[in-house]
Amino acid sequence: MSRTVQCALLKREAEGLDRPPYPGPLGQRIFNEVSKEAWSRWVKHQVMLLNEYRLSPVDPKARAFLEGEMEKFLFGGDAAKPEGYVAPK
């Protein structure tokens, strides 16, 4: 039986993650408050940010930027979108 969480992004109960997807307290918060569907949405958004901003995941500045964006995206902040971004219909 899968566990459910009250998802901070989707604003409804949904299937929870199997384990914390990120280290530390932020990873535990994500595990407790973010659904699999919301995490999947973040992963797609993160790939867009990596590609559009040409970020390297090994660069500490890029990692700090992505961590901040992840928190904003998942917990209701204003997550970054590349200049000229048009949402798909």
CA 16 to chain CA centroid, Å, is 14
Residues whose CB is less than 8 angstroms from the CB of residue 19 and which lie 6 or more positions away in sequence, other chains included: 31
Predicted TM-score of the model (pTM) = 0.86
Domain ranges of the chain: 4-75
Backbone angles phi, psi at 74, to 5 degrees: -80, -30
Tens digit of each residue's pLDDT (9 = 90 or more) over 1-38: 589 999 999 999 999 999 999 999 999 999 999 999 99
Q: What local confidence, expressed as pLDDT, does residue 83 receive?
A: 75
Q: In this structure, which topology does domain 4-75 adopt according to CATH?
A: YggX-like (1.10.3880)
Categorize the per-residue pLDDT at 78 as very low, low, confident or very high, splitting at 50, 70 and 90.
confident
